[in-house]
Amino acid sequence: MKLNELLLKAKELIAAGKFNDADGILEPLKSEYPLSPDVARLWCSLAMRTGRTADVPAYAAKIYAHEQGDFHKAHWAHVLGTANFILLDLSTAHAHFTYALNHLMVLAKSGKIPPHKEHAKLDEADTNVFASGEAEKLLWTTCAELAKLDIPAFPFAGTLLGLVRNGCLLDFDKDLDIAVQMEFWDACCATLEQAGWVRAPMRIEYANYRDYIHPELGITLDVCGLQARGKQIVGGFALPGYPDEYQRVSVFPKFDLTQRSTDYGEVWFPRQPERILTAFYGDWRTPNPHWDTVISACNLENFTQLVRCYAYHRLIQRWLLGDLAKAWCYAHQIVLKDPDDVLALRSRQWMERAMARLNREIPVWPKNQRQKRVYTRMVADLFHEGHINFLRAARALGTHLTVCVVSDERVVENKGKLPVMKQAERAAVVSACKYVDAVMTETPASVTPEFMQRHGFDIYTFACASEQERQDKYRLCESLPPEMIQELTYTSGISTSELVARIRDGAGSKEAETKRE
C-alpha cells in the first residue's frame, strides 16, 4: 500500500479505538519515514492516547526543527507543549506554547491565517440526547441510584445551570456534571462502575475529578469531588504532592442539599443553587456560548500555571484550526484573569486585526460581574412622570430591574375600581421604558424570601403616597430581611388620580386650564 493509504487506514483505526492495529501500521512507518510530518502527526496523537506521552517530545522536536514555515512550526510547538503539559512539566509546556503563539503572530503579521476547518456536524438522523430528554433521564436515574445508597451526589456546573436557568439540560451541552463530597468519593465512583458506567482515561489523573462514559448512550459523566474548608467549599483539579501552581482550586460559599422527588426516585439537589451558579458564572442568567468552565470560572482562587496551560493549549488549538472567534475568546479570557499577560494581549490584538481584515465579527463577551437585581410591583395606569421618576430610581439601586405590572383584578381588590388601562396595555408601556429590563404579570401578592431567591432578586422596592399605603406595603414584605427592602421617594404633584380628574374636568379646555392655574 502507498504511504497515504496506510496513513488513512491508521487514522480510521484510531477513530475506531483499535489502537494496537493502528500502532502496527505507524511504528514501521516511523522508522521508514523518520521526518515525515504526516506520519509523526498520527504517531504522536496515538502515543498521547496510549500512555506513551514521554516518547513524544524527542520525536516532535526533530519534526519541529525540520519543518519550515510559521504555521507548521506553530503546530509542532503546540504538540511539544501539549506533551509536556500531560507529563506535568508545566514550565516546559508554557515555553513551547509561547513559541507556538509567536509563530502564529508572525503569520498574522504577514496577513495570513490558517484555513478555517469546520467541526463535523451530526447527521440529521442523529438524535441530540440532551435535547430529547434521554440525558436528563440518565442523570436522574444515576442520582437516584446513588441516593438510595446514601451517597449525596447532585447536579453541578453546566448541568445545574441548565436545570435552574432553563428548567432542563442545556441542549448544546456535551456531558453531565455531578458533584459529591470527598468523604463519599470512593463509594460514589465504585457505585457508578457497578451501575455500568465505564471510567474514561484522562490524560492527567486528578484526585478529585473523574470522567465516565455510558456504554449505550455514549454520554460522558464528569464527577467532581468537593470538600469543606472553613466557611467555604472547594473543588477543582487537585494534584496531591505538587506545588500550588499545579492546582486548580475553585471556591464556593457554603450551601446545603435537600432531597427532591423525580420520576426515577428521590435525588439530592442544592437548596441554594443560585449560590453555586453565582460563584461559578457571576451573571449566570446571561447565556455565554463561549464559556469554558476550566478557564472562565469566576471562582478560581488563583490563575495558576496549570490553568494558564489549559488556556494556552485551547487558544492555540483554535487558532491553528482557523477558528479566530473562539481563539479570540480564549485570549480574552486569559487577559480577564491576568491583565499583565502580554502574550495573550498581543495574540488578541493580532486576531482582531485579522478579523477586521476578513470582515468577521469580534465576539461579544458578556460581563460576568454579579448582577444586583431589583424587583418592584406597580399599577402604572396612565403612565406619567411620577412613574418614570420611580423606575429611574429603582433601576439605580442595582444592575437589573424587573417590574410586575399587577392585574386588573388586583387593582380592584386594592383600590376598589378598575384601572383606566388594561393590564396588557400597562405592561406594554412599562416594558418600553428604558429603565426596565423585564416585566412580569403573574406574581404572588406577598413578597417572600423564597420568591426573591427563586427569581434571583436582591432588592424589593416601592414608593408610598400615604402612611396607610406604607403600612400595607411593608405588611406584604414583612418576611424579608430589612437589607432587601428599599423605600423610594414618592413624586408629589402628579398621580393617575389627578390625571383622571383633569380629564373629567375637560382637559385642554380653557376652563380646565384656569382651574389648574
User: Could you report the per-residue pLDDT of 409-446, keeping only the tens digit for each?
Assistant: 988 888 888 999 999 999 999 999 999 989 999 899 89
Q: What is the mean pLDDT of residues 336-365?
A: 92
Residue type, 462: F
- Residue 122's pLDDT is what? 39
User: Could you report the per-residue pLDDT of 173-197, keeping only the tens digit for each?
Assistant: 889 999 999 999 999 999 999 999 9
Backbone angles phi, psi at 280, to 5 degrees: -65, -55
Measured CA to CA in angstroms, residue 363 lies from 52, 176, 292, 296, 319 at distances of 38, 27, 15, 15, 15
Using alpha carbons only, how large is the chain's radius of gyration in Å?
30
Considering only CA atoms, which of 289, 346, 288, 347 is closest in space to residue 315? 347
Q: What is the mean pLDDT of residues 22-51?
A: 94
- Residue 123's pLDDT is what? 40
Q: Report the helix count and the strand count for the chain, using DSSP H and E.
A: 22, 14
CB 211 within 8 A of CB 176: no
What CA–CA distance (Å, rounded) separates 273 from 373?
Answer: 17
Q: Give 362's DSSP letter.
A: P
Provide the pLDDT confidence category of residue 88 given band limits of 50, 70 and 90: very high
The C-alpha angle 7, 18, 119, rounded to 5 degrees, equals 65
Provide the pLDDT confidence category of residue 154 given band limits of 50, 70 and 90: very high
Residue 375 has pLDDT above 80, yes or no: yes
What CA–CA distance (Å, rounded) separates 76 from 93?
Answer: 12
Considering only CA atoms, which of 403, 447, 410 is closest in space to residue 427? 403
Q: What is the mean pLDDT of residues 124-134?
A: 71
Residue 298 has pLDDT above 70, yes or no: yes
Could you count the other beta carbons within 10 Å of the beta carbon of residue 72?
15
Q: Which three cell numbers stand for residue 268?
A: 439530592
Residue 119 has pLDDT above 80, yes or no: no
Backbone angles phi, psi at 491, to 5 degrees: -80, 115
Q: What is the mean pLDDT of residues 489-494?
A: 86
Could you count the other beta carbons within 10 Å of the beta carbon of residue 399?
15
Overall residue count recorded for the chain in this entry: 517
- Residue 39's pLDDT is what? 95
Cell 469580534 sits on residue: 362
Query: Which 3 state secondary structure label does DSSP give 439?
Result: strand
Q: Which three cell numbers stand for residue 137?
A: 433521564
End-to-end CA distance of the chain: 102
Considering only CA atoms, which of 321, 292, 455 is closest in space to residue 377? 455
Residue 128 has pLDDT above 90, yes or no: no
Question: Between 338 and 500, where is the model more confident?
Answer: 338
Q: Which three cell numbers stand for residue 108?
A: 498574522
Residue 118 has pLDDT above 80, yes or no: no
Considering only CA atoms, which of 437, 357, 398, 447 is closest in space to residue 112? 357
By the 10 Å C-beta count (0-12 exposed, 13-18 middle, 19+ buried), 106 is classed as middle
* Percent of the chain with pLDDT strictly greater than 90: 77
- In DSSP notation, 142-180 reads HHHHHHHTT---EE-HHHHHIIIIISS--TT--EEEEEE
Taking all residues of the chain, what is their mean pLDDT, rounded to a whole number?
Answer: 91
Residue 451 has pLDDT above 80, yes or no: yes
What CA–CA distance (Å, rounded) separates 125 from 479?
Answer: 53
Highest averaged pLDDT of the listed ranges 16-25, 183-192, 284-293: 183-192
By the 10 Å C-beta count (0-12 exposed, 13-18 middle, 19+ buried), 258 is classed as exposed
Question: Between 214 and 132, where is the model more confident?
Answer: 214
46-55, 279-288, 331-340: least confident range: 279-288
Q: What is the mean pLDDT of residues 11-32?
A: 93
Cell 513551547 sits on residue: 96
- Residue 127's pLDDT is what? 62
Residue type, 508: G
CB 196 within 8 A of CB 120: no
Cell 474548608 sits on residue: 229
Residue 120 has pLDDT above 70, yes or no: no
Considering only CA atoms, which of 376, 516, 513, 504 is closest in space to residue 436? 376
What CA–CA distance (Å, rounded) separates 350 from 107?
Answer: 10
Query: Which 3 state secondary structure label does DSSP give 235?
Result: strand
Question: Between 171 and 247, where is the model more confident?
Answer: 247
By the 10 Å C-beta count (0-12 exposed, 13-18 middle, 19+ buried), 4 is classed as exposed
Taking the alpha carbons of 414, 418, 419, 424 in that order, is the dihedral positive or negative?
positive
Provide the pLDDT confidence category of residue 157 given band limits of 50, 70 and 90: very high
Considering only CA atoms, which of 306, 311, 277, 266 is closest in space to residue 151? 266
Question: Between 505 and 408, where is the model more confident?
Answer: 408
What CA–CA distance (Å, rounded) separates 323 from 126?
Answer: 25
